[in-house]
Amino acid sequence: MSNLISHKADPLSGPLKVPGDKSISHRALIMGTMAIGQSRISGLLEGEDVLNTAEAMKAMGADITRAENSDWIVYGVGVGGLCEPENALDMGNSGTGARLIMGLVAPYPFHTSFIGDASLSTRPMKRITDPLSKFGAEFHGAEGMTLPITVSGIMDPVPIEYELPVASAQVKSAILLAALNTPGKTTVIEPTPTRDHTERMFEHFGVTISIASHGTNGKAITVTGQPELKARDMYVPTDPSSAAFPAVAALITPGSDIIIENVGMNPSRTGIYITLQDMGADISFINQRLECGESVADIHVKYSELTGITVPKDRAPSMIDEYPILCIAASFAKGDTIMRGLAELRVKESDRIAVMVAGLKACGVTVSEHDDGMTVTGKTAIEGGAKVATHLDHRIAMSFLTLGMRTENPVEVDDGSVIETSFPGFRALMNGLGARIEDKK
């Protein structure tokens, strides 16, 4: 555990780049492994979660190295080419790594065990094991189907059609990855669209995939299994979820003016920026372009006086990881910011509703907790001065360090080391802009 403390910041200024997108980085390593030959990945996130996925791919036969220019080189084994790992795959803190790779290995005739840290070991896996069982795989897990879990994969998997009962890109992606080594056509129906990086990556690698509209807003995604995939180079844009921390820091720190470069602008991920604009934030997108099938832009953010809003429930999937940092922006907004329809937040790296509400209250923010969200009532001066429990959750740690940049007294978090899972270099980057985040001795 390493405690960090955040003091009142100077106005933030300068151009900056946040690390690569976590969701795309996991998928780039997995898809590089599913292709035959050498794929080169530039911009890969070198956070602990993604490095655990790289280790898992290596344990099943891929050759993965980091080149001198910090590109990553993957020699894949091809669809059907994975081999049984000798040891349990340790996915650390990563729900995405665990769930996607469980899907990937389900249609292979071998056993794969998954372990993780204390946070990951409490997270629900039934949402994955239910659909993957329909392919024919079997799962043996701890009580309530949590990690450690052993997957007994199936030699002759059968394709499935499955409608997602919960809006989750991880569940969708687990099924789509299982479909890769399953003969025939597998269809996933998602009534509410979620991030579509897996679908875009499949298209990039030449997988036969068709996407039809379903119902009012939904999609039916069909993949034809057992393709022969050729290696492809990949470019990972920087992470819009990580960029939200300096963006909110600039919005709440008077005098700030920053440009965050090369940020992924996939519409299934940009809900936070639309919401902040709805609250009156001075945010503009410049230099918009397309890189390897993903849209990218530079984000210009200036300090702004914000007003609370009711965040539309149907926006949740496009900003599901950003509610903790939105709560920080809402703490300084005029009036109430009402965030509902967020039951999923209770099963993230921590129960993000309970943990945010406890931390905000400790810092003197007016907040009320609902079953499915929270309401934050903003004010111009917030006391701070508290020590916040992060519960092994990187986004909780970064959110409260951002809060401390504007509070009257510094805010401390009990464990800054978890930030390494998604945003290595967070503290140096923020301090380079004007923050004052230090070790708490």
C-beta closer to ligand S3P: residue 195 or 219: 195
Q: Is 175 in the site for ligand S3P (CB under 6 A)?
A: no
Give every CB contact of residue 43 below 8 A, 6+ residues apart in sequence. Answer: 20, 235, 236, 237, 238, 262
DSSP 208-242: -EEEEEETTTEEEEEEESS--PBP--EE-PBPHHH
Q: Does 119 bind ligand S3P (CB under 6 A)?
A: no
- CA–CA gap between residue 198 and residue 110 (Å, rounded): 24
| Dihedral sign from CA coordinates of 376, 423, 119, 41 | positive
We find the least distance from the C-beta atom of residue 318 to ligand S3P, in angstroms, to be: 11
What's the gap between Cα 18 and its chain centre? Answer: 14
Binding to ligand S3P (CB under 6 A) within 22-41 occurs at: 23
Residue 163 or 344 having the CB closest to ligand S3P:
344
CB of 241 to ligand S3P, least distance (A): 7
325 CB-side CA count, 13 A: 31
Near ligand S3P by CB under 6 A, which window of 39-47, 164-172, 382-390, 430-438?
Answer: 164-172
From the CB of 152, what's the least distance to ligand S3P, in Å? 24
Task: Compute the Cα dihedral for 83, 85, 91, 92 and give only its sign.
Answer: negative
Least distance from C-beta 171 to ligand S3P, angstroms? 6
Q: Of 334 and 346, which has the nearer Cβ to ligand S3P?
A: 346
Nearer Cβ to ligand S3P (169/175): 169
Annotated active-site residue 117? The verdict is no
Select the span of 148-156, 157-165, 169-177, 359-367 touching ligand S3P (CB under 6 A).
169-177
DSSP class of 317:
G
Report which of 332, 322, 393 is spatially closest to residue 358, judged by C-alpha positions. Answer: 393
3-state secondary structure of 280: coil
Binding mask 285-324 for ligand S3P (x = CB under 6 A): -----------------------------------xx---
Measured from the CB of residue 219, what is the shortest distance to ligand S3P in angstroms?
Answer: 15
In the set 90, 321, 393, 415, the catalytic residue is 321
* Binding of ligand S3P by 382 (CB under 6 A): no
- Return d(Cα 404, Cα 322) in angstroms, integer: 18
Q: Is 170 in the site for ligand S3P (CB under 6 A)?
A: yes
Nearer to ligand S3P, 170 or 182 (CB): 170
Looking up tokens 């991030």 gives: 195
DSSP state at residue 47: S
Q: What's phi and psi for 366, nearest 5 deg?
A: -85, 120
Q: What is the DSSP string of 291-311?
A: ETTEEEEEEEEE----B--EE
Work out whether 173 is an interface residue with ligand S3P (CB under 6 A): yes
Tokens of 86: 């000798």
CB of 18 to ligand S3P, least distance (A): 15
User: How near is the Cβ of 339 to ligand S3P at its closest, in Å?
Assistant: 15
Alpha carbons 214 and 191: distance in angstroms, whole number: 7
- Residue 169 interacts with ligand S3P (CB under 6 A)? yes
Position among 6, 96, 375, 390 found at the interface with ligand S3P (CB under 6 A): 96
| Residue 168 in contact with ligand S3P, rule: CB under 6 A | yes
- Asked if 384 contacts 427 with a C-beta cutoff of 8 angstroms, the reply is no
User: Does 266 help bind ligand S3P (rule: CB under 6 A)?
Assistant: no
Q: Rule CB under 6 A: is residue 195 a binding residue for ligand S3P? A: yes
Question: With CB under 6 A as the contact rule, which of the stretches 39-47, 62-70, 166-174, 205-213 interacts with ligand S3P?
Answer: 166-174
Task: Tell me which residue has its CB nearest to ligand S3P.
Answer: 23
Cβ proximity to ligand S3P: between 202 and 332 the closer is: 202
d(CA 79, CA 205): 12
Distance CA 245, CA 325 (A): 7
How far apart (Å, rounded) are the C-alpha atoms in residues 42 and 31? 14
Closer Cβ to ligand S3P, 125 or 328, answer by number: 125
Footprint of ligand S3P on 336-375 (CB under 6 A)? 344
**Separation CA 368–CA 353 (nearest Å):** 10
The angle formed by the CA atoms of residues 24, 29 and 30, to the nearest 5 degrees, is 95
Name the minimum Å distance from CB 221 to ligand S3P.
14
List residues near ligand S3P by CB under 6 A: 23, 96, 168-170, 173, 195, 320-321, 344
Q: Which residues participate in catalysis according to the annotation?
A: 321
